Amino acid sequence: MNTSSLAQAPLSRVPLLFLGFRPFYLLAALFAALSVPWWLIQYRLALSGSYLAPMAWHGHEMLFGFAAAVIVGFLLTAVRAWTGLPTPTGAVLAALALLWVAGRILLLTGPALPAAVVDVAFLPACAVALWIPLQRTRNRNRFMVAILMLLALCNLAFHLATNGVLAGMPGHYLRAALYLVVFLVAMMAGRVVPSFTKNAVPSARIRPAPMLDRAAMIAIAAALIAGALNVEARSAGVLALIAAALHAARLWCWDPPSTRGRPILWILHLSYAWIPLGLLLLAAAQFGLVPELAALHAFAVGAIGGMIIGMITRTALGHTGRPLQAGRAETAAYVLVHVAALLRVFPLLIAPALYPSMLALSGAAWTLGFAVYLARYAPMLTTARADGRPG
């Protein structure tokens, strides 16, 4: 055994480092439960940040901290299944996780340059780790690496703009990153939600509609690109309306009513429903009817947060050798995250004066939802599979 093998041997026997989903789901859920209360304290007390202002820190960290950790954890696990080749485990996986942790700490403490360098380095490092098995097998999912690199470019642009090196408001690059993650969620949902539904509910009336799928994805790409580039408002609004209609039709083809009584399924359908709603709100914002913030949080909390809590329960159960069944804890977490979304979005539309108090309640629901996840799943993520198989 060579030196590197000796160095990795002890860590390779730590269950938390058996597969990518384990450390990154655990870290993402812990970060989700801790970061929102911290931001709310900063918001309420009008505190200033060390490197980033509190609002910029919150937006950045929900995307490049929380969501990025889940995306990477999912891909490090999925790519092994897609290619049949190993993805990082043991010491290499620990190094990637520590790089993510270092980014979170430095963004709180500064200084600016080390914070930016370490934070930006995370996604490219993960992209390299994923590219190797995908390229060796010429796997059709190689485009996932391109999406990670586009996210990394958004992150780099955010830091450059924050430090006055690049023109434009830093928030513009965060919005572009948010839209990219929404597009990724829509794309992956089209792959998994209909098949998960049909496998679990054979009587479900899933109606394959490949032309609708393609049109919906083209429309959402056009609408989100128009929004990110600040295209003329009426044109961007029309594109968003078209995309909203197509994605509502796409969801209906997956037979959402068939998932009643099956939380592990309805969480995916309900979370996806926030995409057409978010597009509708985005169109309304373009026409000056509602605040754009409502659309952004429909995407961020409802669609992304909801899909994440649904997927990190389902995939964790499957990859730890447990039945794909959501119990009371999972159902409570699902409901709490969607309550957080409702309280984050609808006060902006119907009761703006109540928004500050509703913001606190939304944060509490979000925090409790991920705390429930941690209580239920931390033991699963840190111990070997229940069925004794590797992974």
DSSP state letters, 175-233: HHHHHHHHHHHHHHHHHHHHHHHHHH-TT------HHHHHHHHHHHHHHHHHHHTT--H
For residue 127, give Cα distances in angstroms to 130, 146, 285, 384: 5, 8, 35, 27
The angle subtended at Cα 49 by Cα 48 and Cα 53, nearest 5°, is 85
The predicted pLDDT at position 8 comes to 46
Instruction: Locate 45 and state its tokens.
Output: 């007390």
d(C-alpha 52, C-alpha 205), whole Å: 49
* Cα–Cα–Cα angle for 93, 60, 165, rounded to 5 degrees: 105
Residue type, 310: G
CA 146 to centroid of chain Cα atoms: 17
The string of pLDDT tens digits covering residues 146-178 is 999 999 999 999 999 999 999 889 999 999 999
The CATH classification number of 170-385 equals: 1.20.210.10
Whether residue 111 has a cis bond before it, omega within 30° of 0: yes
In the chain, which stretches have pLDDT less than 70? 1-9, 49
Cα gap 66→104, rounded to integer Å: 10
- How much is the pLDDT for 43? 83
Query: What pLDDT is attached to residue 209?
Result: 94
pLDDT in tens, 82-106: 999 999 999 999 999 999 999 999 9
Return the SS3 of 88.
Answer: coil
Tell me the three state secondary structure of residue 48: coil
- Helical ranges in the chain per DSSP H: 3-12, 21-45, 54-60, 68-83, 90-109, 112-136, 143-162, 170-200, 210-228, 233-252, 263-286, 292-297, 306-319, 328-350, 355-381
pLDDT at 134: 97
Distance CA 196, CA 356 (A): 38
Orientation of helix 21-45 relative to helix 355-381, angle to 10°? 160
B/e letters for 148-163, b = 16+ CB within 10 Å, e = fewer, are: bebbbbbbbbbbbbbe
Q: Do residues 253 and 206 lie in contact, with contact meaning Cβ atoms separated by under 8 Å?
A: yes
Which pLDDT belongs to residue 6? 36
At residue 69, the pLDDT reads: 98
CA nearest 18: which of 387, 382, 386?
A: 382
The Cα-based distances of 381 to 26, 31, 91, 326, 384 in angstroms read 7, 16, 17, 16, 8
Report domain extents, the chain. 13-168, 170-385
63 contact partners, CB below 8 Å, separation of at least 6 = 174, 177, 178, 181, 300
Contact 240, 283 (CB under 8 A): yes
CA distance 72 to 79: 10
What pLDDT, on a 0 to 100 scale, did the predictor assign at position 44? 82
d(CA 77, CA 188): 15
